[in-house]
Structure 1
């Protein structure tokens, strides 16, 4: 049976309040450790923020760190209603005359009109070919209607690239079959084995037969499979689709309509300039983050000084760079003021790209001294699993784990400390109660003696 405890009832002391205050004193080491843990967690968070800015800086470097990154081109069509274009880094600047002779088409046919989609067509076997690939369907009483045949085609696991729909017009419902891909390599052919014994008439299932080469074609196709054809500077190029690749290195031509226009492929200097500006923006953001953390959670942390020193060791090196007539970024329009802020002179950069593009490229991207290449290598090292920042973060996380262990041990100790203090006050309470009882007894006895004497 549980006992009801009332600490202090014998002594009149507020034991619970006394124990609480004593335990607050005992817990001071835990509070100190908790404060220290909060400070270290704030440092870890600060390193996370710093790491994010370094990652942005790394990304900016990646866009300038190899010569291939400067091989960016743009293509423009003289008439986008005739064709549009896109280019890759494999492109070469040039001008071309493009004529779209024909557009790629897909085979698309329709059956004769039926009363509605639930009208029975016939039974037998359909062998449907798309180019060199084919699949076969059995049509019986379970799927011999217009809708049933449509669903059997669309739901076939062996379907090689044909879609079926039903179009209902004033003269009835028609099953429309279309190859999903354009070009003569994806021509649609339908061979029928009709249960009525005649596979080439327009009665029963054979009404779906379609093989122009074999003379089985009951009505004109909606569209006929054909390849796209264009002429590039007078040379014929064909394609199964209206997207033509390979005719010009690194260039894709998307034919839209028949006609002629010009294609101009030029270096995309604007994109290169944007990459340089992104480099300056990322540099300034990293410097701002370093200054912010130096005045905040990472005050006096040597990591910040190491990052800055390594960056400026590269920027101030001034060494010969293979393939470039420049040795410093400022020569190419990228400067750093007395406050450490990087700025970009777009006019200067544009002028240099037009007059000495190779030197400009090598200034950033040369494996032998290029600024972006060297800074990118630095950033990679900082962000590696065992790099400068991760190593510092790991050290701080280890400290937090150690503090957690200390707090856990102290919390366990607090239980026994509180039990000991309460036991001591219980003993004190009992003793005081006993003394009070003795005092009351003696007082009564003395009072009785006094009364007797009187």
Structure 2
């Protein structure tokens, strides 16, 4: 009968011996897996860091690639008491003196006074219109009161321009119709057709004007401007005025000028983001003498290629239509010894104010502009399915292969462990058998007559 307990026959720690042999066999391979896995994870982290910096840089490039970043206008007013002003890209720089004579107002009309708001008035049809719009009909039954009629007007699906309410005045309730639109072109009309006995409906809806409709009136540089609403969108090219209050004795100065701050801010954002990206590449690929550590992408051609291509575009010359070629330095954006960008603030501001067409062309010209070309380059790396995604996919596949190799190694080591245990147990059984035979032989010898064991 074979031995079933490890080490009984030989007295050896077979479990410990087998574990040591298995560990010795696998340790080197596991260590290699760990090292390679660590390197791959570091590279994945590096690619992610680089992609993030490039994506932020592309956002700044996209803004610079748009012509309206450079052609913007801004508007200011000497006072906000009488009007507000906004501008679009068609606005022309200049100053305008504006006086508000009158605000636009909507019309209100009231019915005749009724005995009360809950009694039936009469049967028929009300036709209500506003200006040149399509009128709508309200069917009034012989049991409808002033309140019922008000509700029908407000709930009508074909009514978009008139609001009905009841005002309980000194003489009694009146139904009041209010226009939702201002201006003299938007007058309320009410016509009545009686279909029941009596003329209660037509008598009640003999309308009286309570509040007249008014147009907005403003004077711009002495020119009278009339509008149906308090928003004047075409009085000045590219300028929209919203009137708030009227006083013909007060003047508001509206000033339209180039929005140099928007352009300068976009360029500053580009420079800051570019420097951040280049610093990221340096940290990923360089060597820190103080910490004696190399960047996690040192020796990798990917960041170096990006750096080289971007710098190539940056150092190019551009035809800006000024009769000569221009560079970034011509507009106050210089390259330092470290390969970063710095801005001469005064020179850049002067360029935006006095050479706006040239700096616009340099950055945003279709296909040939610096921002346009660089944005296309960066996009080829960071877009979905781009170069960065391909690198990530490749690294993930390598990690997956290491994972598979770990599984295969564990299977082999498990089989190796079982084989060693079987072999050592067999040896242990043989040793145990030999020991038993030796003991039995000794006992037989001891039992022979005349044999005396030495003490």
TM-score (norm 1): 0.75
CA distance in 2 between partners of 1:142 and 1:40 (Å): 84
**Which of 300-309 and 77-86 deviates more?**
300-309
Report what 2:289 is aligned to.
none
**Which of the residues 256, 264, 267 maps onto 1:273?**
264
**Which of 12-21 and 338-347 deviates more?**
12-21
CA drift at 1:103: 2.2
Report what 2:87 is aligned to.
87
Report what 1:338 is aligned to.
337
CA separation of 1:57 and 1:175: change in aligned 2, threshold 3 A: farther
**Which of the residues 220, 223, 236 maps onto 1:248?**
236
CA drift at 1:253: 1.1
CA drift at 1:92: 1.1
CA drift at 1:277: 2.4
CA distance in 2 between partners of 1:442 and 1:72 (Å): 107
Instruction: Please list the CA deviations of residues 251-297 of structure 1 after superposition, one character each: whole Å capped at 9, or x if unmatched.
Output: 11111122443322212223333233223222222222222222332
CA distance in 2 between partners of 1:360 and 1:408 (Å): 56
Report what 1:3 is aligned to.
none
CA distance in 2 between partners of 1:142 and 1:30 (Å): 93
For the pair 1:390 / 2:386, whether they are aligned, the reply is: yes
**Which of the residues 252, 271, 277 maps onto 1:286?**
277
Secondary structure of the residue aligned to 1:348 is helix
Q: Quick check: 2:51–2:382 contact (8 Å CA) kept in 1?
A: no
Unpaired segments of 5 or more residues in structure 2? 287-294
CA drift at 1:337: 2.7
For the pair 1:401 / 2:397, whether they are aligned, the reply is: yes
TM-score (norm 2): 0.74
CA separation of 1:42 and 1:191: change in aligned 2, threshold 3 A: farther
Report what 1:308 is aligned to.
307
CA distance in 2 between partners of 1:121 and 1:21 (Å): 106
CA drift at 1:112: 7.9
Secondary structure of the residue aligned to 1:245 is strand
Instruction: Please list the CA deviations of residues 192-237 of structure 1 after superposition, one character each: whole Å capped at 9, or x if unmatched.
Output: 667754566488xxx5x4xxxxxx21x543x444443334344444
Q: Quick check: 2:51–2:388 contact (8 Å CA) kept in 1?
A: no
CA separation of 1:64 and 1:435: change in aligned 2, threshold 3 A: closer
Report what 1:133 is aligned to.
134
Q: Quick check: 2:83–2:244 contact (8 Å CA) kept in 1?
A: yes
CA separation of 1:87 and 1:166: change in aligned 2, threshold 3 A: same
CA drift at 1:348: 2.7
CA distance in 2 between partners of 1:134 and 1:7 (Å): 104
Secondary structure of the residue aligned to 2:310 is helix
Q: Quick check: 2:314–2:370 contact (8 Å CA) kept in 1?
A: no
CA distance in 2 between partners of 1:437 and 1:193 (Å): 126
CA distance in 2 between partners of 1:9 and 1:245 (Å): 99
CA distance in 2 between partners of 1:427 and 1:137 (Å): 103
**Which of 430-439 and 373-382 deviates more?**
430-439
CA separation of 1:303 and 1:130: change in aligned 2, threshold 3 A: farther
CA distance in 2 between partners of 1:15 and 1:123 (Å): 108
Tell me which structure has the larger Cα radius of gyration. Answer: 2
CA distance in 1 between partners of 2:356 and 2:446 (Å): 122
CA distance in 2 between partners of 1:27 and 1:116 (Å): 100
Report what 2:60 is aligned to.
60
CA distance in 2 between partners of 1:165 and 1:175 (Å): 6
CA separation of 1:367 and 1:427: change in aligned 2, threshold 3 A: closer
CA separation of 1:54 and 1:196: change in aligned 2, threshold 3 A: same
Q: Quick check: 1:89–1:250 contact (8 Å CA) kept in 2?
A: yes
CA drift at 1:48: 3.2
